[in-house]
Amino acid sequence: MKIKYKFITGEVTEIEVSENIGNIILDSRRIESNQNRKERYHCFYIEGAD
């Protein structure tokens, strides 16, 4: 399985890893993405609160 890493400079690197490690990395990315979406959903503005 190949895993892509995108750096802030725009450079993309692919690394060959075993299936087990690849699945762990993809699951970790999925969990992090879901958590980021949940945090954005619960945002509110203090200026709007009275």
Domain membership flag for residue 24: yes
Distance CA 22, CA 41 (A): 29
Q: Is position 23 within any domain?
A: yes
Residues of the chain whose pLDDT is less than 50?
none
**Residue 36 domain-assigned (yes or no):** yes
Domain extent at residue 39: 19-43
> What predicted TM-score, i.e. pTM, was given to this entire model?
0.66
Within a domain: 28: yes
29 within domain boundaries? yes
Give 10's DSSP letter. Answer: S
Instruction: Identify the CA nearest to 17 among candidates 33, 31, 4.
Output: 4
pLDDT of residue 2: 93
Instruction: Please indicate, yes or no, if residue 13 is contained in any of the structural domains.
Output: no
Q: Is residue 49 domain-resident?
A: no
- Distance separating alpha carbons of residues 4 and 13, to the nearest angstrom: 6
